[in-house]
Amino acid sequence: MTHEAKYFPVFLDLRGAAGLVVGAGKVAERKIGNLLAHGARLTVVARNFSVPVRGMAERGEVHGIHAPFRPEHLDGMDLAFAATSDPSTNRLVAGEARRRRIPVNVADVPEECTFILPAMVHGEGFTVAVSTGGKNPGAARAIREFLEERKEEIAVRFERGRRRRDARPPKGTVYIVGAGPGNPDLLTVRALGLLRGADAVIHDYLVPGEILSLASPKAARICFARRGKTSGHGSSLKQAAIHAAMARLAREGKSVVRLKSGDPLVFGRGGEEAEYLAAEGIPFDIVPGITAAAGCAAAAGIPMTHRDLSSSVTFLAGHEADGKGGTGIDWKRLPADGTIAVYMGVARAEGLARDLMEKANLPADTPVAVVENGTLCAQRVLRGRLGDLPRIVKKAGIRSPAMLFVGKTSACELSGRIDRKNIEERNDGPVAESV
């Protein structure tokens, strides 16, 4: 809204309000009906009444006065409407109302109005009002029609808003919340409600600013992990600091959201944080999110399972914790015909490709896909062969966050037809590359 805007949008409670309507024709009929529906007590002044308005007067729904307008008709009124076919009468009503500081609306003459009536869309539990300040009623009606066609969608969003309100977190509790793969539209309803009601949000660099902006402006935002600084001894120190911060803020009586990319229990250290909170006697809850593999696969059109191509999905961590004394992956037990989704694998693309070919015995021509910034506007999808994976990652300059998919389904693009010939037979380099 600009500084030139004349009208301030407001909703009034008209129950019991005294209103004067001057005029009793077609235009006045619509205004009278709407005003009565909102509880106003109406007096209608006109020389002649239309049949519907006459019926309202006879039934006692309005007080009818068969006479020309006189200034004293405004005595005791809370608002006035001029809706006659005579411009001079309408100007007289407007002038007298303004002189008495009574809000007045003149049908189709915004320059005579001290308030205007918007185009409205009514639904169960909500009302949407649209106005162009009286300058373009046709545009306002077009927007109203647009909204009318989408009332069901608005009703769904209204219900989501109600549920978010009901999901406000209690004080002194930590919520370990999955933020999903990055696109704010993929945040769960409960996660959004908790985020908006939190006193403090603890997050890492993988959570986009668009999601963080949904938190309350009053909430403290604390980022512990930075890009490229999430492994080794530094990672352990940061995790200890995260534990301490969650406990301290909860004991201060704050509602704390520990916001984690993807799902907190899928390579998100949510289990470790829950164990710590339990040991400290701090109430907590875990709110799942869409894990990166599911989000990136859907965004890239990769079916992780397919009746003809893959009957299993295996999630692998490309980076494992230091101090484990070796890998926890049994490479020989990886299903040869399943889909493998690798998290945090970009930095180890060369080693991963080697392990999958040498230890898991996957052919070098096994289809692979790399999805960088999955679900976001900056998403990139590159497809090729397992033996070529290191070159693909290096040439394209792929950086975290990125998911690696390995298996026949990686060559699929659900936006088009699945080409089984390419999936099963080609071994002459990259299957496809798209951005």
Known catalytic residue at 171: no
In terms of domains, do 429 and 298 share one? yes
What pLDDT was estimated at residue 151?
Answer: 80
Range of the domain at 133: 120-166
Last residue of a domain, one of 270, 290, 310: 290
In terms of domains, do 269 and 321 share one? no
In terms of domains, do 306 and 406 share one? yes
> What's the pTM?
0.61
In terms of domains, do 243 and 176 share one? yes
Indicate which CATH number applies to the domain containing 186. 3.40.1010.10
Identify residue 174 by its one-letter amino acid code: V
Last residue of a domain, one of 166, 198, 227: 166
Choosing from 31, 199, 204, 263, which is the catalytic residue? 204
Cβ distance 405 to 302 under 8 Å? yes
Number of domains in the chain: 4
In terms of domains, do 245 and 356 share one? no
In terms of domains, do 283 and 311 share one? no
In terms of domains, do 280 and 309 share one? no
In terms of domains, do 109 and 232 share one? no
Q: What is the pLDDT along the chain (435 residues), one digit of tens a residue?
A: 444 568 888 999 999 999 999 999 999 999 999 999 999 999 999 999 999 999 999 999 999 999 999 999 999 999 999 999 999 999 999 999 999 999 999 998 989 999 998 888 888 778 888 888 878 878 888 888 888 888 877 777 777 666 666 556 678 999 999 999 999 999 998 999 899 889 999 998 889 999 999 998 999 999 986 555 444 445 677 889 999 999 999 999 999 999 999 999 999 999 999 999 999 999 999 999 999 999 999 999 999 999 999 999 999 998 765 555 567 789 999 988 899 999 999 999 999 999 999 999 999 999 999 999 999 999 999 999 999 999 999 999 999 899 999 999 999 887 543 443 343 333 333 333 322
Known catalytic residue at 75: no
Phi/psi class of residue 304: alpha, beta or left (left: φ > 0; alpha: ψ in -120 to 50)?
Answer: alpha
What pLDDT was estimated at residue 101?
Answer: 97
In terms of domains, do 3 and 98 share one? yes
What pLDDT was estimated at residue 6?
Answer: 80
Indicate which CATH number applies to the domain containing 8. 3.40.50.720
Last residue of a domain, one of 144, 166, 188: 166
In terms of domains, do 424 and 320 share one? yes
What pLDDT was estimated at residue 433?
Answer: 31
In terms of domains, do 1 and 105 share one? yes
Choosing from 6, 135, 171, 229, which is the catalytic residue? 229
In terms of domains, do 230 and 261 share one? yes
